[in-house]
Amino acid sequence: MCVGVPAKVVEKMEYSAVVDVMGSQTTVGTIFVPEVELGDYVIVHAGQAMSIVDEDYARESVEEWRKLIDARHSETV
C-alpha cells in the first residue's frame, strides 16, 4: 500500500516545487503533474507530486493525518 500526504505548492520551478506539508517545507518533483501551479494542493509520495487535489480534500486529509499523529503521540507519552 502506498501512502501519500497532501501538500500546498509554495514555490514552483521547472521540474520541481517547494511544498508545505503540515508546516514543514520540502522540495518535490513535479514530472507527473507538469500543469501544477503556485497555491495548488498535491498528493506527495516518495518525493514526487503524484496528483493535484482540491483544497477541501487536502484540508480534510490533513485533519485525519493530525488525528493519527496525535493518537500516536499520546501512546508514547
Write out pLDDT tens, residues 25-77. 999 999 999 999 999 999 999 999 999 999 999 999 988 888 888 887 777 66
Structural domain boundaries of the chain?
5-76
H helices of the chain, where?
55-76
Mean pLDDT of 20-26: 93
Chain centre to alpha carbon of residue 50: 10
CATH class label, 5-76? mainly beta
Identify the CA nearest to 45 among candidates 22, 60, 29.
29
- Residue 2, all three cell numbers: 502506498
- Residue 17, all three cell numbers: 516545487
Cβ burial of 46 (10 Å; 0-12, 13-18, 19+) is: exposed
